[in-house]
Amino acid sequence: MADRPLTASVTRLVRSRRPRDGIEGLYRSHVEWLRRALGYRLGGHAADIDDIVQDAYIRAARYSDDDAHRHPRALLLQIALNLAKDQRRRDARMPANDLATLDDIALEGDQEYLLALKRTILSLPPEFRHVFVLSRFTAMTNVQIAEQLGVSVKTVEYRMRKALLLCAERLAP
Is 39 exposed, middle or buried (CB count within 10 Å of its CB: 0-12, 13-18, 19+)? middle
- Report the chain's terminal Cα–Cα distance, integer Å: 83
pLDDT of residue 19 exceeding 50, the answer is no
Residue 15 dihedral angles phi and psi, to the nearest 5°: -65, -40
CA 70 distance to own-chain centroid: 28
Residue-level pLDDT at 162: 93
Range name among 21-30, 99-108, 121-130 with the lowest pLDDT average? 99-108
Residue-level pLDDT at 91: 64
pLDDT tens digits along 45-70: 666 888 888 888 888 888 877 777 78
In which band, very low, low, confident or very high, does the pLDDT at 3 lie, cut at 50, 70 and 90?
very low
Question: Residues with Cβ < 8 Å from 79, sequence gap 6 or more?
Answer: 56, 59, 60
Residue-level pLDDT at 94: 55
Residue-level pLDDT at 98: 56
What is the rounded CA–CA span in Å between residue 167 and residue 117?
A: 8
Q: Are 114 and 107 in contact (CB under 8 A)?
A: yes
pLDDT tens digits along 69-117: 788 888 888 888 888 888 777 666 655 555 555 555 554 555 777 778 8
Q: Amino acid identity of 2?
A: A
